[in-house]
Amino acid sequence: MHEYSIVASLIDRVQHEATVHGGSRVHRLHVKIGELSGVEVDLLKTAFDTFRERTICAGAELAIDTVSPAWACPSCDRSLAAGAILRCDDCGRPARMVQGDEIILERIEMEAPDV
């Protein structure tokens, strides 16, 4: 269950950003999770609910956006249709994944002093 270690890293990062920006309370975290990242979203939510207590994220909501996988040719940048063979029809090169395996802390909504 690497979801627990992901949550631990997420909370550490949020704590760091809150310290840097003088944040006192986190309201919401926005995270993007690729469908092929290997992360089970329900387990991530459970882990977050379990480990956020007594942290700066204690009252925070976790908003998760899932990202569908997409592939493109690395030579001609042609996008491949979902379900297509992962090889470019134009030049024959193997496709590369351009999205769908990411885990990104996109935004932190927190109380911070006016700057």
Number of separate domains in the chain: 1
- Report residues of the chain scoring pLDDT below 50: none
Q: What token pair was written down for 89?
A: 């029809």
- Euclidean distance between CA atoms 32 and 106, whole angstroms: 7
Contact indicator for 40, 48 with CB cutoff of 8 Å: no
Residue type, 106: E
State residue 77's pLDDT score: 87
Domain interval for residue 10? 3-111
107: domain CATH number?
3.30.2320.80
Q: Among candidates 61, 51, 44, 60, which has minimal Cα distance to 6? A: 44
User: CB of 103 within 8 A of CB of 34?
Assistant: yes
Q: What is the pLDDT of residues 61-77, one digit of tens each?
A: 999 999 999 999 999 88
Query: Which H or E run contains 71?
Result: strand 70-72
Q: pTM for this structure?
A: 0.85
